[in-house]
């Protein structure tokens, strides 16, 4: 059995002191693939550096809606240049976040659209971060179709978003947010067919039950997989295999 954590951040400063140690441990504990996700230029460059030094880690590059404060045309050029580098499997995380930032919605939309255009130009899927911005996110995706599709990362447990996202051909990635036992997470997971479901940790943030409150790392993706297995009435092995296959497919990894 092996797991693919579709979204983690070994580039985060919380891993500064023991990054190499944890990277070795995850492989030992069967998390044999993960994508180190960028959210600004500096962290995207670091994601590539990490991916280049570890065979089982891949990278994505992009500017998140919470990092666009001073973004320039030059930064977009950099996203494109980094996007074509070896081991970069997606553009992201990109999207809209009206929870943390409601003052600059137009600017967020502009950055999102321009990075979709980059993804289409270099033929990569996108990793979407969306928070309290369901309608605007869907509107942009309908107006600016993404050629290679992508992933709703840490997908909000919103039925409308999941249904529409699936119709658009996107994958749905669940994180620790489904491990809290409630009807909403059961409903959300049940909506996603086996060939479109992914698991992630978004570590070092969002620790699942039962390790809530501690620093998260990709080893905890097993709790997300177990929760999906319980809801879908399948074995942990099956969910590990399905999500491993799906992640390789969307990220175009052999
Ligand atoms: Ni993230």
pLDDT tens digits for range 35-86: 999 999 999 999 999 999 999 999 999 999 999 988 899 999 999 999 999 9
Q: How far apart are CA 67 and CA 146, in angstroms?
A: 22
Residues with CB under 5 A from ligand 1 (ion): 202
Q: In the predicted model, is pLDDT for residue 181 greater than 90?
A: no
CA of 9 to the centre of ligand 1 (A): 7
Q: Which pLDDT tens digit goes with each residue over 209-225?
A: 889 989 999 999 999 99
Query: 90: which strand partners?
Result: 60
| Region of residue 217 (phi > 0: left; psi between -120 and 50: alpha; otherwise: beta) | beta
- The pTM assigned to this predicted structure is 0.97
CA of 229 to the centre of ligand 1 (A): 23
| Banded model confidence at residue 124, pLDDT cuts 50, 70, 90 | very high
CA of 65 to the centre of ligand 1 (A): 11
Which of 193, 202, 142 lies closest to 172, judged by CA?
A: 193
| Banded model confidence at residue 244, pLDDT cuts 50, 70, 90 | very high
Answer yes or no: are the C-beta atoms of 223 and 212 closer than 8 Å.
Answer: no
- Round the average pLDDT of the chain to a whole number and report it: 97
CA of 205 to the centre of ligand 1 (A): 8
Q: How far apart are CA 181 and CA 68, in angstroms?
A: 35
Which of 96, 64, 93, 94 lies closest to 200, judged by CA?
A: 93
CA of 151 to the centre of ligand 1 (A): 12
CA of 196 to the centre of ligand 1 (A): 19
CA of 183 to the centre of ligand 1 (A): 24
CA of 37 to the centre of ligand 1 (A): 6
* Contact partners, residue 139, CB within 8 Å, separation at least 6: none
Name all domains of the chain by residue range, CATH numbers in brackets: 3-250 (3.20.20.140)
- Express as a percent the part of the chain with pLDDT over 90: 95
Answer yes or no: are the C-beta atoms of 147 and 119 closer than 8 Å.
Answer: yes
Number of Cα atoms under 13 Å in the Cβ half of residue 24 = 3
Backbone angles phi and psi of 58, in degrees to 5: -115, 170
CA of 92 to the centre of ligand 1 (A): 9
pLDDT for 91 = 98
CA of 167 to the centre of ligand 1 (A): 23
């Amino acid at each position: 059995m092996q797991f693919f954590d579709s979204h983690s951040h070994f580039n985060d400063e919380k891993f500064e002191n023991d990054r190499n140690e944890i990277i070795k441990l995850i492989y030992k504990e069967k998390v044999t693939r993960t994508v180190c996700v960028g959210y600004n230029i500096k962290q995207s460059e670091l994601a590539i550096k990490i991916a280049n030094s570890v065979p089982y880690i891949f990278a994505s590059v992009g500017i998140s809606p919470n990092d666009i404060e001073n973004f320039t045309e030059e930064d977009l050029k950099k996203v494109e240049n980094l996007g074509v580098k070896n081991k970069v499997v997606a553009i992201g995380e990109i999207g809209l976040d009206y929870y943390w930032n409601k003052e600059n919605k137009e600017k967020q939309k502009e950055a999102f659209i321009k990075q979709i255009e980059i993804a289409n130009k270099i033929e990569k899927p996108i990793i979407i971060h969306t928070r309290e911005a369901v309608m605007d996110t869907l509107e942009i995706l309908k107006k600016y179709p993404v050629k290679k599709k992508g992933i709703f990362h840490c997908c909000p447990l919103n039925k409308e978003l999941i249904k529409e996202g699936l119709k658009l051909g996107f994958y749905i990635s669940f994180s620790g947010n489904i491990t809290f036992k409630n009807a909403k997470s059961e409903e959300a997971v049940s909506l996603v067919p086996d060939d479109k479901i992914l698991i992630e940790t978004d570590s070092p943030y969002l620790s699942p039950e039962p390790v809530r409150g501690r620093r998260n790392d990709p080893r905890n993706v097993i709790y997300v997989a177990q929760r999906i297995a319980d809801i879908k009435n399948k074995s942990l092995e099956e969910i590990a295999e399905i999500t491993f296959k799906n992640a390789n497919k969307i990220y175009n990894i052999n």
